Amino acid sequence: MYYLGIDSSTQSIKGLVIDPVAGSVAAQASVKFGEDLPQFNCPDGVLPNADPLVKQSDPLLWVAALDLLFERLRKTGLDLSQIAAIGGDGQQHGSVYLNDRFIPALAALDPNRTLADQLAPTLARPVAPIWMDSSTSAECRELDARFGERLQTDTGSPAIERFTGPQIRKFAKNEPDRYAETAHIHLVSSFLCSVLIGANAPIDSGDGAGMDLLNLKTLEWDPEITAFTAPGLLAKLPKVANGVAGRLSPYFAKYGLKAGIPVAVWTGDNPASLIGSGAGIAGCAVISLGTSDTFFAAMDTFKTDPEKCGHVFGNPAGGFMSLACFKNGSLARDRVRREAGVDWTFFDETAFALTPPGNNGQWALPWFEAEITPPTQQIGLRANFDFAAAPPEVRIRAAVEGQCLNIRAHTRWIGQFSTIRVTGGASRSLGIRQTLADLFQARVESISVADSAALGGALLAAAADGQALAPLMCVFAPVTDTVEPRPDAQAAYDGWAEGQCGI
């Protein structure tokens, strides 16, 4: 008996199958959007746009990737008929707009045709705004002016450009005819979950809280906020629920899966990572180092960020989680590496061996995209030295320390932690792990599975099938490496005035 978790992130989709009896990963596969599906013209998962603030994707890319992922899982040789349940997650905040043909099309999926071909006629809007979008400042001001502090105290976040509510408001204002044709508005998570079950799937409280529409005090859509955001919005939103979304559509039997197995309600990638990192219960924080960098932790008590940068979401394990998101993550690090002309071994290890903590006071902020935390639309690298003329190792440490310092500065409202777990592709970097340990003066732990979101989806699938979640988190998120803070490094960072670094 196995459980499958699927993580649909910005640049790829991953599938991870766990064996709860053996306590191991039985199979995994992935699809890179730009590399494997170039026909959708979404390098790095984003459609080109002349406006740098507009970030959108093609929803058909995600369903084409789902087909390809299952084909690749089948080719691993694993008996997919032994998968007992499926869970998953999607990149948070992305929204999909569907017409009244969506539900009938799901109910009649033909295994002899692709998902993309069958679902193309169901799109009321051919593009999906994603979490990187920063083009809704006007809509955010309108929501703030109408609801003020209540927006944050009730939904867990102020009006944020990338959040789904402002995106829906902009769409309704700018394209009223297409909005009128929209019968269903889904998040990436609930859209793909709907495809799996062949019916309209719910949105969970973890992902739903990233919309500026869900009242976390009632765990229902806020009627006043939805009514103000767009006409008739409440009727277009799925219900809010956790647990089992439905049963697997017969369409997927062509890959060897058993039709009718339970499919868990999908969540957002960050709530899924909280579970996959084994941090679903309060005690340690998690830093996910991916396309974006995120800092999150389970919460003992509900509280919001006084600086209005951080957020509160539902915790799939129960209760709430806090989160701060930093847009310029791994893509920014990769750009610094490429422009420095070095490989990843040099970036991850050598650069930090050649430079001291604090980098002799030289810092940089690689904000190649409009940053979300702190919010700024001034794009470009900031540094207090001649960045381009410096040696590669100095540039690399400056950029990484600047990113880590920015994370520390904007997560103090969440609390101070003696233990931080790291996940995501960049968590493999010893230099980054040591920098985090030194800056936070906390033990930094790595876990055995880097793809914590996909693992979280698999664990939620097991929970939907009646398995106890807490013991599984302990089994599948063991600590494999520990980096201790160096007391002598603390002095190098204590002298850094965060205000002088532009954050």
What is the token pair recorded at 190? 């609930």
Class for the domain spanning 2-265: alpha beta
What is the token pair recorded at 386? 């001649």
- Parallel, antiparallel, or unpaired for β 24-32 and 12-19? antiparallel
CB atoms within 10 A of CB 481: 14
What is the rounded average pLDDT for all residues in the chain? Answer: 94
The string of DSSP codes covering 350-419 is IHHHSS-TTGGG--EEEE-S--TTTT----EEEESS-TTTS-HHHHHHHHHHHHHHHHHHTSTTT---SE
For the chain, give every residue range classified as CATH 3.30.420.40: 2-265, 277-503
pLDDT category at 499 given cuts 50, 70, 90 is low
> How would you write 196-218 as a 3-class SS string?
HHCCCCCECHHHHHHHCCEECCC
What is the per-residue pLDDT across 308-346, written as a single tens digit (0 to 9) for each? 889 999 999 999 999 999 999 999 999 999 999 999 999
How far, in Å, CA of 220 to CA of 47, rounded?
33
pLDDT category at 31 given cuts 50, 70, 90 is very high
For residue 495, what pLDDT is reported?
A: 65
**Residue 410 reports pLDDT greater than 70:** yes
How far, in Å, CA of 453 to CA of 88, rounded?
8
How far, in Å, CA of 178 to CA of 86, rounded?
33
**Residue 497 reports pLDDT greater than 70:** no
How far, in Å, CA of 262 to CA of 253, rounded?
14
Q: Tell me, which fold does domain 277-503 have in CATH?
A: Nucleotidyltransferase; domain 5 (3.30.420)
**Residue 283 reports pLDDT greater than 90:** no
For residue 377, what pLDDT is reported?
A: 80
How far, in Å, CA of 182 to CA of 97, rounded?
6
Yes or no: say if 462 and 476 are a contact pair by the CB < 8 Å rule. no
| Helical pair 469-476 and 452-464, crossing angle rounded to 10 deg | 150
What is the per-residue pLDDT across 122-146, written as a single tens digit (0 to 9) for each? 999 999 999 999 999 999 999 999 9
Q: Which residue has the tokens 């579970």?
A: 275
What is the per-residue pLDDT across 206-222, written as a single tens digit (0 to 9) for each? 999 999 999 999 999 99
